[in-house]
């Protein structure tokens, strides 16, 4: 390993130099493949390989959602003439199914990297100068750096929160016992998914949401339908602020002020899910020469270049989407660009789809109708109920729909929004069409949709445009 010396406060400090340093072994770890194997490389990961998605995000939540869906499906079967009951929820077995599979992966991933000649540092890194990092007691530098340090839950300013054992998405999946009741502060992705998980498995749920609806960033029609359906199962307090919390042996007592006046919500457990913030505040980006935006994200261009040549950034630390498929796409672009400096490419797509794996599922891409109206963008709208299709009949569905917005001039798609079973899958042909610039007419009329598959509702929404 090449060592360089650097003057620091009159002292000479040994600096270990690499070709490539990756900060964060979440999406960052996916950068390293055979094409980069010739480089002297270090990975810095103070926590667990796999990052948020594997250890405390997408993957464990969706494994828990599968259990919740099984319970919901059993309870809902009566409408099809099949009476079933959920006899027992074995939380420990559910939790072990998830984490017995996930937990060994950190050690094996770390060992794999070391076996292939990558140095692994297990402490937090921070910049001390452009392309120079302090990692614990070591100082390292690199020609090329990928910053993929991710994000963490925002902790809201609620009086007394410090003094109670509240959970965030980082901790709640590893609890020992199912809570009899759960109060969730926040009304976004995490509230929706954990409300579904713990609600379906038997907890009584109260959601305290600052906004006027749940999932407020969705198309208003979807957000309204989702709020209405959730309020049938859970207690939903809207336009509500948690102002104070205190704990006792039975759990927590949250004081809530909102449109329904002031009230106290009691619950055995509390989950705080009011958004995530980038981990850049712990990185001393100023010392590293990295520009940040007003939300603390590292400023990158469409090729994922930062303000320092040779330093790239991806994922939750750099983009506002905070979605794993976006981080993965950025990593692929960075790998290409590192290997082909003469052929630097931009991220191919700027429209990021997302899905919320709750009950019912919600999936979306592109413009919402309220955005189109607010921005004065001419648009056509088509809404089709699942109930109008054979598959909707099969499900006895009465609440799910597909909504598509198209450009009246060239009939390309502007946005698509689905609420209902399999929404995350049903939206895929619309993502494809939007990304590839295909018109609504082409994908409606030149493509056959299998009868009577769920996708027929997408076909019908397109044909009605």
Closest CA to 315 of 167, 151, 159, 425: 151
Given candidates 16, 41, 51, 270, which one binds ligand FAD under the rule CB under 6 A? 51
Which of 15, 21, 25, 208 binds ligand FAD (CB under 6 A)? It is: 25
271 lies in the binding site for ligand FAD (CB under 6 A): no
Place of tokens 């990021």: 352
Cβ neighbours for 243, distance < 8 A, ≥ 6 positions apart? 158, 159, 255, 256, 257
Query: Hey, which bits of 341-420 come out as E strands?
Result: 354-356, 362-366, 380-385, 401-406, 413-419
For residues 306 and 283, give the distance between their C-alpha atoms in angstroms, rounded to a whole number: 14
95 sits near ligand FAD (criterion: CB under 6 A): no
Is residue 283 close enough to count as binding ligand FAD by CB under 6 A?
A: yes
Nearer to ligand NAD, 216 or 221 (CB): 216
Given a contact cutoff of 8 angstroms between Cβ atoms, the answer to whether 407 and 414 are in contact is yes
Q: Which residues bind ligand NAD (CB under 6 A)?
A: 156, 185-191, 193, 208-211, 216, 241-242, 273-276, 322-323, 354-357
Within positions 332 to 351, which residues make up the interface with ligand FAD, using CB under 6 A?
none
Least gap, CB of 276 to ligand FAD (angstroms):
7
Q: Is the CB of residue 68 less than 8 Å from the CB of residue 201?
A: yes
**Catalytic-labelled residue, pool 116, 320, 340, 451:** 451
Q: Mask of contacts with ligand FAD, 132-151, x by CB under 6 A?
A: ----------------xxx-
Closest CB to ligand FAD among 317 and 427? 317
Check if the beta carbon of residue 105 is closer than 8 Å to that of residue 54.
Answer: yes
Q: Which of 184, 190, 402, 405 binds ligand FAD (CB under 6 A)?
A: 190
Which of residues 69 and 253 has its CB atom nearest to ligand FAD in the complex? Answer: 69
Q: What backbone phi and psi angles, to 5 degrees, belong to 243?
A: -100, -30
Report the distance separating Cα 415 and Cα 220, nearest Å.
13
**In the complex, minimum distance from the CB of residue 323 to ligand NAD, in angstroms, rounded to a whole number:** 5
Angstrom CA distances, 251 to 166, 181, 246, stand at 9, 9, 9
Binding range to ligand FAD, per CB under 6 A, among 303-311, 320-328, 368-376, 457-465: 320-328
What size, in residues, is the chain?
465
CB of 164 to ligand NAD, least distance (A): 15
- Per CB under 6 A, the list member of 17, 27, 31, 196 interacting with ligand FAD is 27
**Assigned token pair, 210:** 């600052």
236 binds, among ligand NAD, ligand FAD, none (CB under 5 to 8 A by kind): none
- With CB cut-offs between 5 and 8 Å by kind, which of ligand FAD, ligand NAD, none does residue 275 bind? ligand NAD
Is the preceding omega at residue 452 within 30 degrees of 0, hence cis? yes
Residue 208 binding: pick among ligand FAD, ligand NAD, none (C-beta 5-8 Å cut-off by kind): ligand NAD
* Catalytic residue status for 379: no
In this structure, what DSSP letter does residue 10 have?
T
* Binding status of residue 52 toward ligand FAD by CB under 6 A: yes
Residue 448 token pair: 């056959």
Alpha helices in 356-455 (DSSP H): 369-374, 390-395, 423-426, 428-436, 440-445
Q: State how far the Cα of 409 lies from the Cα of 350, in Å rounded to an integer.
A: 21
| Residue 421 in contact with ligand FAD, rule: CB under 6 A | no
Smallest gap from Cβ 221 to ligand FAD, in A, equals 23
**Residue 169 interacts with ligand FAD (CB under 6 A)?**
yes
- Could you tell me the smallest distance in angstroms from the CB atom of residue 320 to ligand FAD? 11
Report how far residue 380's alpha carbon sits from residue 444's, in angstroms, rounded to the nearest whole number: 15
Q: In angstroms, how far is CA 301 from the centroid of its own chain?
A: 21
- In sequence order, the 6+-apart residues with CB closer than 8 A to the CB of 323 are 352, 354
Which one, 125 or 413, has the nearer CB to ligand FAD?
125
72 binds ligand FAD (CB under 6 A): no
Of 319, 72, 272, the residue nearest 160 (C-alpha): 272
Which residues in this chain contact ligand FAD in the complex, by CB under 6 A?
A: 23-28, 44-47, 51-53, 57-58, 61-62, 124-125, 148-150, 169, 190, 279, 282-283, 315-317, 322-325, 327, 357
Residues carrying an active site annotation? 451
């Amino acid at each position: 390993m090449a060592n360089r010396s650097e003057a620091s406060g009159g002292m000479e400090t040994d600096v270990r130099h690499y070709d490539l340093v990756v900060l964060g072994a979440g999406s960052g770890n996916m950068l390293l493949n055979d094409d980069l194997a010739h480089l002297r490389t270090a990975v810095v990961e103070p926590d667990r390989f796999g990052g948020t998605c594997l250890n405390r995000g997408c993957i464990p939540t969706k494994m828990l959602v599968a259990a919740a869906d099984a319970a919901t499906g059993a309870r809902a079967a009566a409408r099809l003439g099949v009476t079933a009951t959920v006899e027992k929820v074995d939380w420990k077995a559910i939790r072990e199914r998830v984490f017995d599979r996930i937990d060994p992966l950190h050690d094996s991933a770390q060992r794999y990297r070391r076996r292939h000649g990558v140095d692994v540092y297990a402490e937090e890194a921070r910049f001390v100068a452009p392309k120079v990092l302090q990692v614990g007691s070591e100082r390292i530098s690199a020609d090329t750096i990928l910053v993929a340090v991710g994000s963490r839950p925002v902790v809201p300013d609620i009086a007394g929160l410090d003094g109670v054992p509240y959970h965030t998405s980082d901790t709640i999946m590893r609890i020992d016992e199912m809570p009899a009741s759960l109060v969730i502060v926040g009304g976004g992705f995490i509230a929706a998914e954990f409300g579904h998980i713990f609600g379906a498995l038997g907890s009584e749920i109260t959601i305290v949401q600052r906004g006027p609806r749940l999932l407020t960033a969705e198309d208003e029609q979807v957000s309204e339908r989702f709020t209405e359906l959730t309020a049938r199962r859970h207690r939903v307090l809207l336009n509500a602020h948690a102002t104070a919390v205190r704990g006792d042996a039975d759990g927590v007592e949250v004081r809530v002020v909102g449109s329904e006046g002031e009230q106290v919500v009691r619950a055995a457990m509390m989950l705080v899910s009011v958004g995530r913030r980038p981990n850049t505040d712990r990185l001393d980006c100023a010392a590293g020469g990295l520009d940040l935006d007003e939300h603390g994200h590292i400023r990158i261009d469409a090729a994922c270049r930062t303000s320092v040549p040779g330093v790239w950034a991806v994922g939750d630390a750099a983009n506002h989407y905070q979605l794993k498929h976006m981080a993965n796409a950025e990593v692929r672009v960075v790998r290409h660009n590192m290997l082909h400096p003469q052929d630097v490419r931009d991220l191919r797509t700027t429209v990021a789809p997302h899905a919320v794996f709750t009950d019912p599922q919600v999936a979306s891409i592109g413009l919402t109708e309220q955005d189109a109206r607010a921005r004065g963008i001419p648009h056509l709208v088509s809404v089709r109920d699942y109930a109008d299709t054979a598959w909707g009949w099969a499900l006895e569905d009465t609440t799910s729909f597909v909504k598509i917005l198209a450009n009246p001039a060239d009939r390309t798609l502007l946005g698509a929004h689905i609420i209902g079973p399999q929404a995350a899958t049903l939206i895929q042909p619309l993502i494809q069409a939007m990304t590839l610039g295909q018109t609504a007419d082409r994908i409606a009329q030149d493509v056959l949709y299998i009868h009577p598959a769920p996708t027929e509702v997408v076909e019908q929404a397109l044909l009605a445009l």
